[in-house]
Structure 1
Amino acid sequence: MKKKWLLASLFLFMIVFSVILLLSLKERTEMPKTERETFTPSTVETFQSFNREDWEIREKFKLGRGYLLARQVAPAPGKVEIKLNSRTADGGEIRTRESFQYGQFEAAIQTADAPGSITGFFLYAPPDLHHEVDIEIFNERKSKVLLTIYQNGKVAKQMEHPLPFDPTKELHDYRIDVLPEETRFLIDGELIQAWKGNFSSKPMQLMINSWYPSWLEVKGDASSPTVIDQVSYSR
């Protein structure tokens, strides 16, 4: 009888332990989702028309080998196109008028097919190298992303990540979560990199651009523009 009672107690203990373990694992795997749900409801911009109260187009700005020019940006119903000119090395940029210190930022982007150029999805505030969180996508078929955080006048964190797809062929989702204790980068919902720490000390504008950096070699004509299909952001 005593043996049966011990076996029953052991069996009950194993069941309770298993339930506690499963709940713990579930909590760990769902932590990003829980943090995501703490953001306010997203503002979703589908660009059915270009809302100039919320967004602005960079008029003229020297960057890399050329300029960011307003004429290279072409809003259309349901999208914004940024055209690249390989002969003059000119590109374009759009940015929010509002600034954000923390939040979640996501964009559906199909990059230009323009080797030697990049598409940036990032947060920025002047001066240079002090307040910036970047996803930079190389505008070529066999591509990669460069993830960078600038802080206090220098690179605080940086890594390259090869892309398992051709970003010039279709839309993909790029996301940045800037939190007081962590900054995360996701592509198509998959966590690529997370850096612990507070890297934001000033509100930053959300920007998207395509341009020719001086540290890349222009390898041919741009055969397609960068297409921005949708952008969402929340605090």
Structure 2
Amino acid sequence: MMKKVLLFIISITVLCFTGCHSNNENLVIKSFHHPNGVYFCREKVNSEINILNPMKNEKEVWVEFKIKDNLGNLIDSSIQKEMIPSGKEENVVIDWTIPVDFKSGSYKTDLIAWDQSPENSDAKKIAESVDKEGILVFETQDNFDELDGNVWLVSEGNLGRSELKSENVTLNNGLLSIEMPQNTLNGGEIYSKELKDYGAFETRMKLPDAPSSITGFFLYKAPDYFYEIDIELYNQPDGTLMFTTYSDGEKKNVYVGNLGFDPTNDFHDYRIEYKENQVAFYVDNIFVKSWSDGFPKEGMYLMINCWYPKWLDGEKPKENQYLLVDWVRF
């Protein structure tokens, strides 16, 4: 009988010990609010954690903000201490300013509430939220209010079946317009004045309806087949697209797919994310394809063009057709 009583007392003691956590265990995390959408360098990013303190005493809580790249690598973080008044529900705001030299691209955020500073080895998480949507960060966006000669240059020359003419590149009501004139195989092209390093490059475009021609949004540097990362869109309603990378003098990767919509009917977003260990492609912010090797690893020019390649039939359009570009950001 004595053994049974003793065992019962020991059981209660163990249960009490394992159930007694930090003095913050009764804080209630009501909700997390992650930042979403598009941001630019120097801009402030706001996150919130809604915390309820139902206890009679003011309680301390530490909140942490983490930002990670699309491969899960930690890029930056911030930590702050908050005091939650007794019987109060508080929205704890976490501010993080994007550094001026931050690399453009897509990022995910984590929000964590701790019972003490997470720099302490015995700190315990009260709650954590990992964002699934993420944010996009860019350095700048060109809305083509003008064709800035310090940013863009216009090509003159031959490409495939086409003669690229500067006269086909104009601005129209805040849109960059590249004309594909009727009864010709001519086109047009712009390219960045400066080489572009790793980062994200995105544009919003409406394609011309000119079968047997393509629109390119890509990174390139001479010579051919050494430095190139392409989004190539067929200028036709069926939505055919192709992603390609070139390095070391040859084609390394190619993907042919379908957009699932008519790109000549409306504007859509197309993005390249170029990192040292990955190149990824997105359409309307939806991931499509990535490669972890087989692409160049040095600066290239950002380019946009409309032209008729020799590997397509070269059908001359019966009416003038136009590539319309709303904006480009990088």
**Hey, which of these two has a bigger chunk of helix by percent?**
1
Are 1:39 and 2:103 counterparts?
Answer: yes
Q: Is the 8 A contact 1:178 1:200 kept in 2?
A: no
Pick from 229, 233, 253 the counterpart of residue 157 of structure 1.
Answer: 253
**Hey, which of these two has a bigger chunk of strand by percent?**
2
Match of 1:18?
Answer: none
2-side partners of 1:198 and 1:116: how far apart?
Answer: 28
> Which amino acid letter does the alignment assign opposite residue 326 of structure 2?
D
2-side partners of 1:198 and 1:152: how far apart?
Answer: 9
| Superposition pairs of residues 44-83 of structure 1, within 5 angstroms | 44-59=141-156, 61-83=157-179
> Which amino acid letter does the alignment assign opposite residue 262 of structure 2?
D
- The change in CA–CA distance for 1:214 and 1:86 in structure 2 (over 3 A counts) is farther
Q: How much does 1:102 deviate?
A: 1.0
Match of 2:235?
Answer: 139
Stretches of structure 2 that go unaligned for 5 or more consecutive residues are 1-7, 19-67, 76-97, 105-137
Match of 1:226?
Answer: 323
Pick from 284, 300, 324 the counterpart of residue 204 of structure 1.
Answer: 300
Q: Is the 8 A contact 1:181 1:198 kept in 2?
A: no
2-side partners of 1:197 and 1:115: how far apart?
Answer: 32
Stretches of structure 1 that go unaligned for 5 or more consecutive residues are 10-29
Match of 1:172?
Answer: 268
User: SS of the residue aligned with 1:83?
Assistant: strand
Deviates more, 1:32-41 or 1:114-123: 32-41
TM-score normalised over the length of structure 2: 0.59
Q: Answer with 1 or 2: which has the greater Rg.
A: 2
User: SS of the residue aligned with 1:225?
Assistant: strand
Pick from 96, 108, 118 the counterpart of residue 204 of structure 2.
Answer: 108
User: SS of the residue aligned with 1:227?
Assistant: strand
Q: Is the 8 A contact 1:47 1:230 kept in 2?
A: yes
Match of 1:25?
Answer: none
Match of 2:312?
Answer: 216
> Which amino acid letter does the alignment assign opposite residue 56 of structure 1?
L
Indicate the RMSD between aligned Cα atoms, in angstroms.
Answer: 2.8
Are 1:88 and 2:179 counterparts?
Answer: no
Q: Is the 8 A contact 1:107 1:229 kept in 2?
A: yes
- Residues 9-41 of structure 1: per-residue CA shift (max 9 Å, x gap): 7xxxxxxxxxxxxxxxxxxxx752977985254
Are 1:190 and 2:286 counterparts?
Answer: yes
Q: Is the 8 A contact 2:252 2:294 kept in 1?
A: no
- Residues 54-82 of structure 1: per-residue CA shift (max 9 Å, x gap): 111112x1111121111111222411111
Q: Is the 8 A contact 1:180 1:199 kept in 2?
A: no
Q: How much does 1:198 deviate?
A: 6.7
Q: How much does 1:87 deviate?
A: 2.9
Q: Is the 8 A contact 1:83 1:224 kept in 2?
A: yes
- The change in CA–CA distance for 1:153 and 1:32 in structure 2 (over 3 A counts) is same
2-side partners of 1:111 and 1:217: how far apart?
Answer: 18
Q: Is the 8 A contact 2:181 2:320 kept in 1?
A: no
Q: How much does 1:119 deviate?
A: 0.2
Highest RCO, 1 vs 2 (Cα 8 Å, sep ≥ 6): 1
